[in-house]
Amino acid sequence: MTKSGLKVGFIGLGIMGTPMAMNLINGGHVLFVNTRSKVAPELAQAGATVCTSPAGVAERADIIFIMVPDTPDVEKVLFGDNGVTKGLSKGKVVVDMSSIDPIATKAFAKKINELGCDYLDAPVSGGEVGAKAASLTIMVGGEQAVFDRVKPLFDLMGKNINLIGGNGDGQTCKVANQIIVALNIAAVSEALVFASKAGADPAKVRAALMGGFASSRILEVHGERMIKRTFNPGFRIALHQKDLNLALQGAKALNVALPQTANAAQLMQACAALGHGQADHSALVKALEALAQHPVAPDA
| Residues acting as catalytic residues | 174
Question: What whole-number distance in Å separates Cα of residue 37 and Cα of residue 13?
Answer: 8
Cα 33 to the center of its chain, rounded Å: 19
160, β-bridge pairs:
137
Cα 287 to the center of its chain, rounded Å: 23
CB 4 within 8 A of CB 28: yes
What's the CA angle centered on 25, arms 22 and 27, to 5 degrees? 110
**Eight-class DSSP state of 59:** H
DSSP one-letter string for 243-289: HHHHHHHHHHHHT---HHHHHHHHHHHHHHHTT-TTSBGGGGHHHHH
Instruction: Say whether 43 sits in a helix, a strand or coil.
Output: helix
Question: What whole-number distance in Å separates Cα of residue 78 and Cα of residue 96?
Answer: 10
